[in-house]
Chains A and B, each alone.
Chain A
Amino acid sequence: MAKKRAGGISRREFVRLTGTGALVAGIGPAFIFPGRAQAQQKTLKILQWSHFVPDYDKWFDGIYTKAWGQKHDTNVMVDHISLNEIPARAAAEVAAQKGHDLVMFLSPPAAYEKQAIDHSEIYQEVEKRHGKKITLAHRSTFNPVTKRYYAFSDSYVPDPGNWRKDLWEAVGYPNGPDSWDDLLDGARKIRKDPKLGNPCGLGLAQELDTSMATRALLWSYGGAEQDEEGNVTINSKATIEALKHMRAIYQDSETPEVFTWDPSSNNRAMLAGKVSYVANAISITRQAEREKATNPMMAEMSKKIMINKALKGPVRRIASEHVMDCYVVWNFAENKEGAKQFLVDYIDNFGEGFKASKYYNFPCFPKTVPDLSQQISNDPTADPPDKYKVLTDVLDWATNIGYPGYCSAGVDEVFNTWVIPTMFAKVAKGDMSPEDSAKAAEAEIKRIFERRKAG
């Protein structure tokens, strides 16, 4: 018989207790948490924005990722955050060297190249199945110096003009503005008409939509922040002319509210019937169409708001993509292979995604939506059904951040610290002359580029 020691337990009791404990520790979690029983099931964590077209997120989270997860025995977790919060979240993940397996940026994340895998392999696999990617995708995710793809782009979003048909018709532009001169002339007439008075809605704030609109104006006048080799070229005659044009647009047709905007403000201003023109993706009209059955104001706006191409400047008709979807697989991702496979398979299903986004996300692999022109030219939810037909030739006038060069880490920082919108805003408000503002922007961009080269 085992002897019990004073104040303790016998050897036999010890063995029994520890054995039971080990058994409980081993099977306990599986019994208490059945989900953990499938210990080998993989996980794929994705971080992306809350899409401006909510139906897309419903499809992505509820249909596509679920089906993909079941097929690959993977638990796919998708976290959505506001577009403004993505850079801070990405920076935190890199600092912690932990986080999501796939992170989607809305502009080329060149600054993160050293933290990302080379995405060439994904592009190669997708190109085998769906043909060549568009140049815009290449220039937005490729570093010509290191010859690496620091991200993978599945889609981009066009940045057309949104204009109010009733207002523009009233001032002699039944087809809306076609050039920057038309915009100045028509917007001025609308604003000064005592019966109308609506201001123009080109943003001048430190936010995404302003960044895109001001770059479109700059490029269409022949200006650019850098040349093809990455030399700073912002302080040019073309830039100064573009700044003068923006000043005229602001002073003759806008109000100071454009200095306060965030990326959704121009959507709200347009849908509230306040402004005559904004440069934005088709999220505005899509919201009006989605809510027209229950909201009379939206029903009215879905008929009145039209879409046109990027405006033509003295040099060219050009605009930035509005959003460039750029997926990044971190070097430290726990499920790199799953992330790569997910992206490849996602492109196989891009046609569905295109429809779910209500034609918001345009394909970087055009063969995934071979009938794109027909689809957007006859959209039963649009009023008229061919409202989006003007986007058929979007690749003729859409370009990348960093145009005419590539998007480098320096360009990325210039973009994220709002150097270009600030340059335009100071001139528009009259706080700086065009010459001084271009000079100040040049100094800031050179400073950033030099720091990036040194670092």
Chain B
Amino acid sequence: MFYPAMIYVLAVIGLPFALAVVYAFSDIKVGSVGYHFVGLQNFKSILHSATFLRALYDSFIFTVGSQILVLVGSTLLALALEKKFRGRGLVRFLMLLPWVAPVSIGAIGWKWILDSLYSVINWVLVRVPIFHLDKFNPPQWLGEPALAMASVIVVHTWRLLPFSTVILLAGLSAIPKEIPEAAEIDGAGFWRKMFQINIPMLLPILNVALLFGIVFTFTDMTVVYILTRGGPYDTTQVVPSLAFFTGVLGGDLSEGAAISLFMVPILVIVAYLMLRAANRSEVT
């Protein structure tokens, strides 16, 4: 079973990655013919691009913001869903939906919820007298830079939350029941059990969830592409979406490839640090 898996990984990940490396050191454009090696010229060029530097900054905000929300939200959800209650199966099923549904469908749904003209949220807000909103200028969820970034973070969090919750639920079920029970007999309350038993014991699995979350977020462009296409004026532009806009829509394949390769060392460093931290925090 090893070889089919290896062939699959090479074909789906290895080959495009190798192609991106080859492109990034060339002057290849979408309509050009032939290949010319240009060394580090593309990397130097993008470092002079204000749009790229903005996208790099936005990528960090997008990743850090959504991961904080995912970690807090999934920990709370996992703790809640671990308890036995009526309808737990149904709640767990519903909670999984954002993860199992195609991301494009979910994001399009959110686009309409946050739409400038037909937003259901704004429809309600404008009709609630206490808010005194201008009917022609309700909150523009995707039109104000700060609100737009918050919107893409929230939608991405909505998407990743189930995945992280499932990982944490698995981690919680692996904690020996005697430890929290013993602590409870010794008089430990909810918060003490959470911060001194559950979370420390969950730390290795939390690290894994965080690592996956960072990789999924830093390399994701679907939510940004569908909700804002990087706007308003590049304030939600992230590195993967900029690579797509530059390489495919703009036609500069070599620069698009160079932009996308910028993510690799960052993600390798993050993965190394996270795995190292996970090893150190293993409960022995």
Contacts and interface: CB of A to CB of B under 8 A. Distances in A.
A91 B254 CA distance: 13
Interface in B247-281: 248-252, 254-255
Interface string A180-191: 000000000001
A205 B49 CA distance: 20
Contacts of A262: 229
A417 B134 contact: no
A259 B30 contact: no
B204 to A, nearest CB: 41
Given A94-B31, A260-B231, A431-B233, A413 B250 contact: yes
18 contacts: A87-B248, A94-B30, A111-B251, A113-B31, A114-B31, A191-B136, A197-B134, A204-B232, A205-B229, A255-B143, A257-B117, A257-B137, A260-B228, A269-B116, A416-B251, A451-B45, A451-B252, A455-B254
Interface string A105-137: 000010111111000000000000000000000
B143 A417 contact: no
Given A199-B137, A265-B116, A416-B249, A409 B31 contact: yes
A416 B250 contact: yes
B234 interface: yes
Nearest to A199: B136
Contacts of B252: 413, 448, 451
A88 B248 contact: yes
A447 B45 contact: yes
A388 B135 CA distance: 32
B256 to A, nearest CB: 10
A94 B148 CA distance: 34
A114 B116 CA distance: 41
Given A255-B136, A257-B116, A454 B27 contact: yes
Given A111-B29, A444-B49, A455-B28, 13 more contacts: A95-B30, A114-B32, A206-B230, A257-B140, A259-B232, A269-B116, A274-B117, A413-B251, A413-B252, A422-B233, A425-B232, A454-B38, A455-B29
Given A113-B31, A197-B136, A260 B143 contact: yes
Contact of A112 (B30, B45, B246): B30
A87 B244 CA distance: 11
| Residue in B31, B135, B144, B148 with the greatest tally of chain A CB atoms within 10 Å | B31
> Which among B118, B229, B230 has the highest number of chain A CB atoms within 10 Å?
B229
B49 A206 contact: no
Contacts of A274: 117, 136
Interface in A255-288: 255-262, 265, 268-269, 272, 274
A257 B136 CA distance: 10
9 nearest A-B pairs in the assembled complex, by CB-CB distance: A259-B232, A256-B143, A257-B116, A425-B233, A112-B31, A256-B140, A455-B27, A111-B251, A255-B137
A265 B115 CA distance: 10
B142 interface: yes
Given A199-B136, A440-B50, A451-B255, A91 B30 contact: yes
